[in-house]
Amino acid sequence: MKKFYISTAIDYPSARFHLGHAYEKVVTDTLARWKRLNGYEVYFSTGTDCHGLKIQRAAEKAGKDPQVFVDEISDMFRDLCKELNISYTDFIMTTEERHKKVVKQILNKLKEKGDIYEGEYEGIYCQDCETFYTEKDLVDGFCPVHKTKIERVKEKSYFFRMSKYQKQLVEHIKKGDDSVWPEKKRAELLNRLKEPLRDLSISREQVSWGIPLPFDENLTTTVWVDALTNYITVLDYPNEKFKEFWPGTHVIGSDIIWHHSVIWKTMLLALGISLPRVIVHGFINLDGEKLSKARGIIIDPIELAEKYSADSLRYFLLREISFGQDGNFSEKSLIERHNNELANELGNLLQRTLSLAEQKLGGVVPNAKVDQRLSKPFDKEKISHYMDKLEPHNALQQIFFFISECNKFINATEPWKLEGKEVEGVLYSLLDSLRIISILLAPFVPETSEKISKQLNISLGNWEDVKFNLLKPGIKLGEKQILFNKVQKIEKKEEKIEKAREISVTVDPKLKKLGLKLVCAVIENVKVKNKHEGLEKIKKETVKSIDLDSVEEQKVIQGYLDLYKEIGVKQDYHAVKNLVDLAKKSGNIPQINTVVDSYNLVSIEKGLIVGAHDLEKISGNVRVTFAKGDELYIPLGTKEKMKLDSKEYVFKDDAVVLCRLDVKQGEHTKVTNETKNVFLYVQGNKNTSQEYIEKAMKQILANIEKYCGGKIKVLNVN
From CA 188, how far away is CA 259, in angstroms rounded? 14
Half-sphere exposure of 9 (CA within 13 A, CB side): 23
Amino acid in the structure at residue 373: R
293 is catalytic: yes
Sheet bearing 664-665, strands edge to edge: 505-507, 622-626, 649-652, 657-660, 664-665
Instruction: Record the pTM.
Output: 0.70
Active-site position among 50, 129, 406, 708: 129
SS3 545: helix
21 is catalytic: yes
How many CB atoms lie under 10 A from the CB of residue 107?
24
pLDDT of residue 367: 97
Q: Identify the sign of the CA torsion 614, 617, 622, 627.
A: negative
Distance of alpha carbon 48 from the chain centroid: 18
Sheet bearing 216-221, strands edge to edge: 203-204, 216-221, 212-213
From residue 321, give the alpha-carbon distance in Å to each of 27, 285, 390, 444, 486. 10, 11, 12, 13, 22
Mean pLDDT of successive 10-residue stretches along the chain, which has 718 residues = 96 90 97 98 98 90 90 95 97 98 98 96 64 64 62 84 97 93 96 95 93 96 96 98 98 96 98 98 80 66 94 97 93 95 97 97 97 94 97 97 97 96 97 98 98 97 96 96 87 60 92 92 90 81 80 78 88 78 82 90 89 92 90 82 87 90 83 92 92 92 87 90
For 337-415, list the strands marked E by DSSP.
none
pLDDT of residue 364: 97
Q: Which domains does the chain have, with CATH numbers?
A: 2-298 (3.40.50.620), 331-465 (1.10.730.10), 505-715 (3.50.40.10)
DSSP-assigned letter for residue 265: H
From CA 624, how far away is CA 67, in angstroms rounded? 56
Sheet bearing 327-328, strands edge to edge: 289-290, 284-286, 327-328
For 461-551, list the strands marked E by DSSP.
505-507, 517-524
For 462-576, list the strands marked E by DSSP.
505-507, 517-524
Half-sphere exposure of 134 (CA within 13 A, CB side): 7
129 is catalytic: yes
| Contact by Cβ (8 Å): 693, 684 | yes
Amino acid in the structure at residue 244: E
| Contact by Cβ (8 Å): 87, 44 | yes
How many CB atoms lie under 10 A from the CB of residue 194?
7
From CA 46, how far away is CA 28, in angstroms rounded? 10
Active-site position among 35, 51, 81, 143: 143
CA torsion angle 475 479 484 488 (round to 10): 150
DSSP-assigned letter for residue 307: H
Rg, C-alpha atoms of the chain: 31
Query: Alpha helices, DSSP H only, in 129-222?
Result: 166-173, 183-192
Single out the residue of 205, 215, 243 nearest to residue 105, CA to CA: 215
SS3 650: strand
From CA 638, how far away is CA 666, in angstroms rounded? 9
From CA 656, how far away is CA 652, in angstroms rounded? 6
From CA 687, how far away is CA 591, in angstroms rounded? 29
Peptide bond into 301 cis (omega under 30): no
CA torsion angle 362 363 367 373 (round to 10): 110
| Contact by Cβ (8 Å): 673, 489 | no
SS3 325: coil
SS3 153: strand
Active-site position among 126, 406, 520, 659: 126
From CA 223, how far away is CA 464, in angstroms rounded? 44
Query: Phi and psi of 373, rounded to 5°?
Result: -65, -20
Query: Phi and psi of 182, rounded to 5°?
Result: -85, 175
How many CB atoms lie under 10 A from the CB of residue 502?
9
Active-site position among 54, 290, 606, 652: 290
From residue 679, give the alpha-carbon distance in Å to each of 45, 246, 637. 51, 59, 19
126 is catalytic: yes
Q: What angle do CA 663, 664, 669 make, to 5 degrees?
A: 85
Active-site position among 51, 146, 260, 652: 146
From residue 184, give the alpha-carbon distance in Å to each of 254, 261, 325. 11, 14, 10
How many CB atoms lie under 10 A from the CB of residue 522?
20
Active-site position among 21, 147, 360, 451: 21
pLDDT of residue 241: 97
Query: Alpha helices, DSSP H only, in 8-52?
Result: 19-37
Active-site position among 172, 250, 293, 532: 293
CB contact set of 35 (below 8 Å; sequence gap of 6+): 4, 6, 42
